[in-house]
C-alpha cells in the first residue's frame, strides 16, 4: 500500500535535484507540513533526519551519523527561525557591505568573493545554542532538541576581515551586523539579524564560507554563502548571507536584545561587552562538551564481547585535552583514546573499549576536559532559554 507518508517522502525525494521549500510550496505539500503528521522526514537534497518542525524547517541529525569525523552535507542538521527561504541563484546573489562605520560601501558577486580574496579552509563544529535543550529538567520553552542539533564540517571561504578591509572600517566601528535572505511569513516577524563585536568580526578564523566538505553549501545550510564563527555557537553563523553592516552603535534587533541571551553570573565572560546589561549577555563561546555516539539509554547488549564506546568531544577553541569514560556511574574513570586532531575548532572523536566481566546494569558516562582545564559539570547550568547544556552524559545499558 502506498500511504500518504510514503507518497510525500517519494515526492520530496524526487524534488531533491532541484531542491528547496519553494518547490514544495508550489507543489502544495508545504501546507500539509504544518500540522499533519504525514510530512516528509527528508527535506529535498537531505537524507531522512529527525523532524522537529517543518515550517520553518528544523531537523536534527540522528547521533549515529556522528560516527564520521565530518558530518556529510546530506545528513547535516537544519535550523531556521523564519519560514520564507528563497532559493538563491548565484548570478543574482549580491553581498552588500555597508553601515554607518564603513568608508566605502561595497557590493560583491560570488565570483568576486571567490577571486579577489585569499581562500582558507577550516574544520569547525556548527553547534546550535539550544542543542540538548530537550534534556533540561524542568523543561524550558523552545525547540526540544535532542543531541543532534550540531555537525562538524570543513568550511572553505574567505576571511570576513579581508572583505571588510576592502570597504574600509571607520574608527567609530563597534559591531558588525549580519543578515541573510530568509524572512518571516508576516511583515511583523523580526528578520533574523545578528551582530558580532568588531574584534570577533575581524578574527582571522571568521569566514564567509561558500563550500562545506568540498562541495557548494547545500541550500538548507546557507547557499551560496554563510558566516562561520569557529568556537561560537551557530546563532551567529548567518546563512544565505546578503548584508554585512559595520555600525557604530550596539545593534538592537530582537535576536540580539531579547533572544539568545544568558545570565551573566553563571557562565564565563561573554566577550561581547557592547551587548551586555547588568545581568545578561549574549551567548557566545561554546562550552566544553562530549557525546557518546554509539550507545543509547536503555539499550540491551550481549555480555559476551568487549564493547567499543565511541563519541565526540569539543569546546570553544582551546581544544580537547582528554576524555574519560566511566561504566560505574562515575566512581572510576578511564582515559579514552583521542582520534585525529583536525584543529582546535573541530570536534575530536574518541573511543574506549569496555570489557565487562559480568552481566548486569551499567551506568556509562563520558567527560571531556579542554586544554584550558575546563570540564563538564554534573548537571546543566540552569538558564531560562535552555542554552549550553553540557552536563556529563549518563547512559544506562543492560548486559544480558
Ligand atoms: N539566515 C539564517 N541563518 C541562520 C539561522 C536562521 O534562522 N537564518 N539560524 C542560525 C542558527 S540558530 C543555527 S543553529 C544555524 C544552523 O545551521 P544549519 O541550519 O546549517 O545547521 O544557522 C544559523 N544561521
Ligand atoms: Mo541555533
Q: Choose which residue among 239, 282, 284 to substitute to test ligand 1 binding: the one with the highest number of ligand atoms within 8 A of its C-beta.
A: 239
| Strand locations in 76-185 (E) | 78-79, 95-98, 106-108, 119-127, 150-159, 175-180
| Pocket of ligand 1 contains residue 80 by CB under 6 Å | yes
On the CB side of 247, CA atoms within 13 Å amount to 16
| Pocket of ligand 1 contains residue 81 by CB under 6 Å | yes
CA dihedral 13, 66, 214, 110 (to 10 degrees): 70
| Pocket of ligand 1 contains residue 221 by CB under 6 Å | yes
pLDDT tier at 4 (50, 70, 90 boundaries)? very low
Closest residue by CA, ligand 1 atom 6? 80
**In this predicted structure, what is the pLDDT of residue 305?**
86
| Pocket of ligand 1 contains residue 347 by CB under 6 Å | no
**pLDDT tens digit sequence for 75-112:** 999 999 999 999 999 999 999 999 999 999 999 999 99
| Pocket of ligand 1 contains residue 386 by CB under 6 Å | no
| Pocket of ligand 1 contains residue 272 by CB under 6 Å | no
> Residue 152 contacts by C-beta under 8 Å, 6 or more apart in sequence?
66, 69, 70, 71, 123, 124, 125, 126, 312, 314, 342, 346, 347
d(CA 320, CA 341): 9
Q: Choose which residue among 80, 87, 131 to substitute to test ligand 1 binding: the one with the highest number of ligand atoms within 8 A of its C-beta.
A: 80
Which of 1, 6, 38, 39 is closest to 21 using CA atoms?
Answer: 39
Give the range among 7-16, 154-163, 361-370, 371-380 with minimum mean pLDDT. 7-16
d(CA 87, CA 68): 29
Q: What's the CA-to-centroid distance between 168 and ligand 2, angstroms?
A: 31
The mean pLDDT of 125-148, rounded to a whole number, is 97
**In this predicted structure, what is the pLDDT of residue 40?**
56
pLDDT tier at 22 (50, 70, 90 boundaries)? very low
Closest residue by CA, ligand 1 atom 9? 80
**pLDDT tens digit sequence for 265-319:** 999 988 999 999 999 999 999 999 999 999 999 999 988 789 999 999 999 999 9
| Pocket of ligand 1 contains residue 237 by CB under 6 Å | yes
- The domains of the chain, with CATH numbers, are 12-282 (3.90.420.10), 289-399 (2.60.40.650)
Q: What's the CA-to-centroid distance between 327 and ligand 1, angstroms?
A: 36
**In this predicted structure, what is the pLDDT of residue 303?**
83
| Pocket of ligand 1 contains residue 239 by CB under 6 Å | yes
Amino acid at each position: 500500500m502506498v500511504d500518504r507518508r510514503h507518497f510525500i517522502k517519494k515526492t520530496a525525494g524526487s524534488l531533491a535535484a532541484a531542491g528547496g521549500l519553494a518547490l514544495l510550496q508550489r507543489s502544495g505539500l508545504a501546507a500539509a507540513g504544518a500540522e499533519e503528521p504525514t510530512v516528509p522526514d527528508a527535506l529535498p537534497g537531505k537524507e531522512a533526519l529527525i523532524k522537529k518542525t517543518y515550517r520553518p524547517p528544523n531537523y536534527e541529525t540522528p547521533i549515529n551519523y556522528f560516527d564520521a569525523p565530518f558530518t556529510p552535507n546530506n545528513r547535516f542538521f537544519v535550523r531556521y527561525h523564519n519560514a520564507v527561504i528563497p532559493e538563491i541563484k548565484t548570478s543574482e546573489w549580491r553581498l552588500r557591505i555597508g553601515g554607518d562605520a564603513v568608508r566605502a560601501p561595497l557590493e560583491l558577486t560570488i565570483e568576486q568573493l571567490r577571486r579577489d580574496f585569499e581562500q582558507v579552509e577550516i574544520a569547525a563544529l556548527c553547534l546550535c545554542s539550544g542543542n540538548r535543550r530537550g534534556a533540561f529538567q524542568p523543561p524550558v520553552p523552545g525547540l526540544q532538541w535532542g543531541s543532534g542539533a550540531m555537525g562538524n564540517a570543513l568550511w572553505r571561504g574567505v576571511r570576513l576581515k579581508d572583505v571588510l578591509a576592502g570597504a574600509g572600517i571607520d574608527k567609530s566601528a563597534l559591531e558588525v551586523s549580519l543578515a541573510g535572505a530568509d524572512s518571516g511569513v508576516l511583515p511583523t516577524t523580526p528578520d533574523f539579524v545578528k551582530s558580532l563585536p568588531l574584534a570577533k568580526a575581524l578574527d582571522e578564523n571568521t569566514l564567509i564560507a561558500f563550500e562545506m566538505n568540498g562541495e557548494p553549501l547545500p541550500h538548507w545550510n546557507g547557499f551560496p554563502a554563510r558566516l562561520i564563527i569557529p568556537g561560537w555557537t551557530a546563532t551567529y553563523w548567518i546563512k544565505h548571507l546578503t548584508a554585512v553592516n559595520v555600525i557604530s552603535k550596539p545593534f538592537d534587533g530582537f535576536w540580539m536584545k531579547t533572544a539568545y541571551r544568558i545570565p551573566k553570573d553563571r557562565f564565563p565572560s561573554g566577550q561581547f561587552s557592547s551587548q551586555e546589561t547588568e545581568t545578561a549577555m549574549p551567548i557566545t563561546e561554546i562550552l566544553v562538551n562530549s557525546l557518546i555516539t554509539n550507545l543509547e539509554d536503555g539499550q540491551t547488549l550481549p555480555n559476551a564481547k568487549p564493547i567499543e564506546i565511541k563519541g565526540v568531544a569539543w569546546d570553544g577553541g582551546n581544544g580537547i585535552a582528554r576524555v574519560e569514560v566511566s561504566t560505574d556511574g562515575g566512581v572510576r574513570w578511564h582515559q579514552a583514546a583521542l582520534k585525529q586532531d583536525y584543529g582546535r575548532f573541530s570536534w575530536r572523536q574518541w573511543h574506549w573499549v569496555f570489557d565487562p566481566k559480568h552481566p548486569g546494569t551499567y551506568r556509562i558516562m563520558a567527560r571531556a576536559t579542554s586544554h584550558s582545564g575546563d570540564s563538564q559539570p554534573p548537571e546543566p547550568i540552569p538558564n531560562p532559554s535552555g542554552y549550553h547544556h553540557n552536563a556529563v552524559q549518563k547512559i544506562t545499558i543492560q548486559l544480558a
